[in-house]
Structure formats: structure tokens, C-alpha cells
Amino acid sequence: MTRRIVVIGGGENAEHDVSLATATAVAGALRSSGFDVDVLTIDRAGTWRRGADALGSRAADSLAAALSVIERVDVVFPAVHGPSGEDGTLAALCALTHTPMVGSGLRAGALGMDKWATKLVAEAVGIDTAPGRLAAADEIAEIGFDTDVVVKPASAGSSFGVALARDATQLRDALRCAAKYDDRILIEDVVAGREIDVAVLREADGRRWASPPLEIHAGGLFDTRSKYDGSARFSVPADIDGADRTALTGAALRMFDALGCAGVARVDFFLTEHGPVLNEVNTMPGMTAASQVPRMFAAAGLPYEQLVARLVDAATVPEPASPGAECVKP
């Protein structure tokens, strides 16, 4: 029997267009593999759509109508990057409806989306991160400047709101920009190192494995513009020695497990002379054929269409709440 898949794209955040590209590519790959595919889109106002048609006049009405589509499918493939999608929101929806879903559940999505929480998890499992601190948007006027820093929203993707600040004026501008995306702002020391990504895939049998590492050549900060204007170059496999590759792969697998990820995740590092330093984790990374994750798995001999199909094969109902068995005292 042909499996029915619904791909959900768009989203009510800055990564809307990036998500649409992922959803379109994933839907095409699934159709080429013989799946019966439907596509739902969340527009910028939060209204759910099926094709060009809004499913309701308000967000709540359209969600109710979208649920009637979701209840008829075998698997949901959420392709919404960023807040109200990748952060566990759609995983929670699938958990409540007991619908198998591609990718990480609520807890992993929420932790991975929050860069400060990710840092705390990394440090707990022995993975280095850049020295940094968390600030509230309403504290901008009180934040002093010590050295070169990178400023980023605590919860955002595609490098929106990320900037390098080398003086007090740049810091103020960077903080104001980051505050447009989140009311919590992460300020980190600049890390000198090569930018290396590693992707981790969990298969249907529970086995997880890491892709060959990919190196980013951006000629500066790998910001939103360089991510999407074609100026950045990628080398995959990255030209690194065996010891560094082992360290990167081990750290990527530890982060995947520590966050409780499922499906696929991209783990971003700086490779320094002292070893890997974690940058961030993406639990719903870009998934067009030209995106970093599919490139890494293609280098391992796993073509794009097969990668997407394997993600569907590994879909599970996100961690539903335990009914709670009564504990018996010994």
C-alpha cells in the first residue's frame, strides 16, 4: 500500500521562504520515490493553507481544518524551520494527535532551538562551547563591551540577527538587530577555527551514524547573506585528519544523543587547535538537494531521494506523555 505523507512548510517566522524551499524539495523527492504526498503551508500570518487556498479565515479555524488532512495520513514531514516549527511546536501537535512524524520530538526541538540551552547541554557532556553570556533585550543599554563578540538571538535560525561586533557602536547595532528576533540575546566570544558541520541520521532500526564532515568557506562571518547568496563554498568531505574527524564525529553523536534527537540533525562546530567547539545544533536543517545535510550524506553514498525516504521510514509518534504508573514502595 502506498504511504500517505503530508509535508508542512512555511511558518510564521523569518525562515518562511527557506522553509518553503525545503518543503517543495522534500515533497518532490517523496513523490519521485512513490509516496502519496500532500502539502500544507503555514503562511506568515499563521493561517494554514492547502495549495493556494486558505483552510480558514483565522489561524485557529485553519488549524482545525488542517487536522482533518493530518488525520488521514501515515506520516507528517514537518519542514518548518525556526520558531513555531523546529522548536518542537509541530512535534507537540503530532504527539497530541498520535501521528508518526519525521524528526526530533518536542524536547529535542525546544532544546536545540535555544542556543543557550544547547550550550548548557554541551558543557554537561564535555563538549566545549564559546565563552558567552545571555542578556535580555531590555538590558541593551546596560551591556558593556570587552572584546570582539558575536551577537545572536537565543532562538532563531538561518543566522537571522547574527552579527560580529568589534567596537561599542557595532555592539549596540548588533544587539538591536538581534532583539528584533528574540527577547533573549546570546553574546559569545569570537572563536578562531575552521567552520565544520557534521550531520547525524537515526535510521528506522535505531542505529545512528554521522556523515562525512563539511567545511564552510565564507571569507568572514557565515551570516544570512552568505548562506543564501551563493558566495560561500563548501568542501565535503572536509580536508581534515583522522584524529580531528574522530573528535568531530564523536562530539556530534554525543550532542545528538544528549538532546534526544531523532531523524536528522546538523551539528555545527569550529575546529580549533584545541579540538571541536560547538556552535549550534539544527534539528530541522535545510533539506533541499543543495543544502549542507544532503550534500554530506551524498558524499557518503546516500542520494537525496533515499535520504528523504529513510527519514520517513524512521518516523515515530513523538514522545507522548506517560500515563504515569503508580510507584510502589519496596
pLDDT of amino acid 226: 55
Describe the crossing of helices 16-32 and 304-313 by its angle, rounded to 10 degrees. Answer: 90
pLDDT of the residue at 206: 95
Least confident window among 143-157, 218-232, 238-252: 218-232
- Phi/psi for 256 (5° steps) reads -55, -45
Asked whether the predicted pLDDT for residue 14 surpasses 60, the reply is: yes
Alpha helices in 132-264 (DSSP H): 168-179, 224-228, 242-259
Does the pLDDT of residue 157 top 80, yes or no?
Answer: no
Closest by Cα among 273, 257, 241, 266 to 128: 273
Q: Please identify which residue in the block is written with the cell numbers 543566522.
A: 159
In three-state secondary structure terms, 280 is strand
Give the whole-angstrom CA distance, residue 99 versus residue 69.
12
User: 324 pLDDT exceeds 70?
Assistant: no
The pLDDT value given to residue 315: 97
Q: Once rounded to an integer, what is the mean pLDDT over residues 257-265?
A: 97
- Residue whose C-alpha is closest to residue 263's, from 236, 248, 285, 247: 285
Cα distance between residue 305 and residue 285, in whole Å: 16
* Mean pLDDT, range 232-242, rounded to an integer: 92
User: How confident is the model at residue 302, as a pLDDT?
Assistant: 98
Helix (H, G, I), strand (E, B) or coil at 44: coil
Tens-place pLDDT, residues 165-189: 999 889 999 999 999 999 999 999 9
Separation of alpha carbons 25 and 123, rounded Å: 35
Which spans in 38-127 are helix H?
A: 59-70, 89-97, 106-113, 115-124
Q: Mind listing the domains of the chain with CATH numbers? A: 4-103 (3.40.50.20), 111-128+192-313 (3.30.470.20), 131-189 (3.30.1490.20)
Which pLDDT band, with edges at 50, 70 and 90, does 328 fall under? low
pLDDT at 304: 98
CA-angle at 220, arms to 215 and 223, nearest 5°: 85
Phi and psi at 25, nearest 5°, equal -65, -45
User: For the segment 212-229, what is each residue's pLDDT rounded down to a tens digit?
Assistant: 999 999 765 655 555 555
How far is 216 from 193, CA to CA, in rounded Å?
11
Cβ atoms of 242 and 213 closer than 8 Å: no
**pLDDT for residue 326 is more than 80:** no
Instruction: Tell me the C-alpha distance between 211 and 98, whole Å.
Output: 31
| DSSP label of 208 | E
Contact residues for 201 (Cβ-Cβ < 8 A; gap 6+) = 208, 209, 211, 263, 264, 297, 307, 310, 311
First to last CA, the chain: 49
Q: What is the dihedral of CA 9, 11, 16, 19, to 10 degrees?
A: -30
More confident residue, 117 or 226: 117
Confidence band of 211 (pLDDT split at 50, 70, 90): very high
Q: Does the pLDDT at position 48 exceed 60?
A: yes
Q: The C-alpha cell of 308 is what?
A: 528523504
User: Is residue 96's pLDDT more than 90?
Assistant: yes
